[in-house]
Amino acid sequence: MKWQPAIPAACLLATVQMALAQSQLCPSTGPNLIANGNFELGYYGFTSDFGRGLNNATKGGCGTQGWFVVAQADPHADWSCQLYPQAYSAQFGGPNTETDPNPAHPGNTAVITLATCNHPLPDHTTGAGYFLAIDPDAIAGRAYWKQKVTVCPNTDYVFSVWVRNISPGCGLPAPFFHFEVGGVPINTPTSYPACSWVQTDALWNSGNVQGEVWIQLVNDQPGCIANDVAIDDLFFGICGGTVLTGNDRYAFCGESAGMPFVLSGQATGFSPPQYQWQKFDPSKARWVDIAGATDSVYLIAAPGPDAAGYYRLLAAANGNNHSAHCATASAAIRIDAFPEYATQVAADICPGETYAGYPAAGTYVDTFLSVAGCDSIRTLFLRLRETYRVETKNTLCRGSTFDFNGRRLSAPGLYVDTLASLYGCDSIVALELELLPRRFLDNDTSFCYVPNAFSPNDDGVNDLFVPYFADIDFKTYEFRIFDRWGSLLFATRDPAAGWNGKHRGRNCAGGVYTYFMLIETGDCANLTFEGTISLIK
């Protein structure tokens, strides 16, 4: 399977270029080509035939009219609601003044807020944002608002705006204006007497027009009173878009779907539309044209793992498909190719246990459905491991202990322990422990012979005093020799070691010496030997 990661958020947003309905005349639209159409960036991006604020009014046959402000307040409530800062008036205050290209420039952000004019007038966008208020003068044909946009040929566009009458008391004759593109009216002048926000729009086909054009709202109600207007949420964009007419999700299991996939869509707003299917390339994080896929329908005849991914249909007027502001794209279509798994499992069980519901050794084949609905085949090789019982016997001397799997035992009896085998099955170990009596065998000559004399003169005959044992499997052994005053002359724990008649490297005098031996055997018998030995010179 060729797994396809999700499209990055930024790319996914670019996939669906159609916006929510921005117009009463267009059920779907392309992106908005107007910068700052909701005036949340203040004066950025547009200009006007009037001046910014009452202090920059064009007047035009009136006493104080011919100005506009970006505000979130009723500009007629107080003269302070109508002023543009004097510090920026010389550069930006006059009519047809270009805005600073930096949206954050103080000349753009010098709007009328509730902090300077606490007379709220809800905007259309959020109810708490900004709108454009215009108090026209008496000269006809002046533009409330205007901006340059880039258009493409042979494309349908819609120009829309939300408008409300803000003349004091909603007076008449009320706002009256029309839309223009490239200096040409695209609708008949219309009156807007309502004191609430209403939407109005007009359609325009670009024909052979392409490149930058001015779009504007032009006043058709010159005069000094009762023609004040507020506008908000301007939109200019492609009237139409690209929509899917078939499925937006396909999926299959294994190496082949077993049937063709038909991707289809259609576009409106272009005369005529030109189509291009694209596939998202996650390694490049961008959409890539599919060669030859230039119809509204794209057939994937034999989908395999390479077909997995995201697809979309791009549409524009002829020749404009790769111009970002001229084309619209459909929502993404997703194709998933899920694998079918075949696995082998080897397992062990102990008597009385089960594995995957099976209680006996054998080979079992099961088919499961994965989360994607595909077959997964499992072959199970099940082995039965036996339990074991080991019985042992051992002896214990009185007063000693015996280690049994970490337990120190000091009493006779039968002890049982359960251990886990290599395969996890129980192994039972039984120990029968017998307590042996302790015996003392003093001077037992059947066990030990001790000479009564020796001659350490280095002649190779009888030079060492060494006891002789029938068995030297001792647990402990001590052999000591003393002189007649009780001084220790020789000591050893080695049953094979003997005394050479010396003490600290010097020959001892001839005479009688006393010896002691203490022996503990492996059968709980203790032997003690004592006697005398004659050292002959």
Strands 375-384 and 362-369: antiparallel
For residue 20, the model assigns a pLDDT of 38
Q: Which two tokens stand for residue 183?
A: 């200096």
Q: What is the helix (H) or strand (E) element at residue 13, kind and residue range?
A: helix 9-15
Beta-carbon count within 10 A of 416 CB? 11
For residue 278, the model assigns a pLDDT of 97
Does residue 352 have a pLDDT over 80?
yes
Q: What CA–CA distance (Å, rounded) separates 491 from 509?
A: 18
Q: Is 155 in contact with 326 (CB distance < 8 Å)?
A: yes
DSSP single-letter state for residue 270: B
Cα 169 from chain centroid (whole Å): 57
For residue 286, the model assigns a pLDDT of 95
For residue 111, the model assigns a pLDDT of 96
For residue 45, the model assigns a pLDDT of 97
Does residue 449 have a pLDDT over 90?
no
Q: What CA–CA distance (Å, rounded) separates 193 from 176?
A: 9
Q: What CA–CA distance (Å, rounded) separates 385 from 361?
A: 9
Does residue 257 have a pLDDT over 60?
yes
Does residue 204 have a pLDDT over 60?
yes
Question: What mean pLDDT do residues 346-368 have?
Answer: 89
Q: Is 332 in contact with 17 (CB distance < 8 Å)?
A: no
Q: What CA–CA distance (Å, rounded) separates 150 from 278?
A: 25
Q: How far is CA 303 from CA 4, 280, 307, 335, in A?
A: 15, 16, 6, 9
For residue 438, the model assigns a pLDDT of 55
Q: How far is CA 114 from CA 72, 74, 167, in A?
A: 7, 10, 20
Residue 257 vs residue 352, higher pLDDT: 257
Does residue 3 have a pLDDT over 50?
no
- Nearest in space to 251 (alpha carbons), one of 370, 367, 331: 370
For residue 501, the model assigns a pLDDT of 95
Q: How does residue 168 score in pLDDT terms, banded at 50, 70 and 90?
A: confident
Q: List pLDDT tens digits, range 134-166.
A: 999 999 999 999 999 999 999 999 999 999 999
Beta-carbon count within 10 A of 485 CB? 5
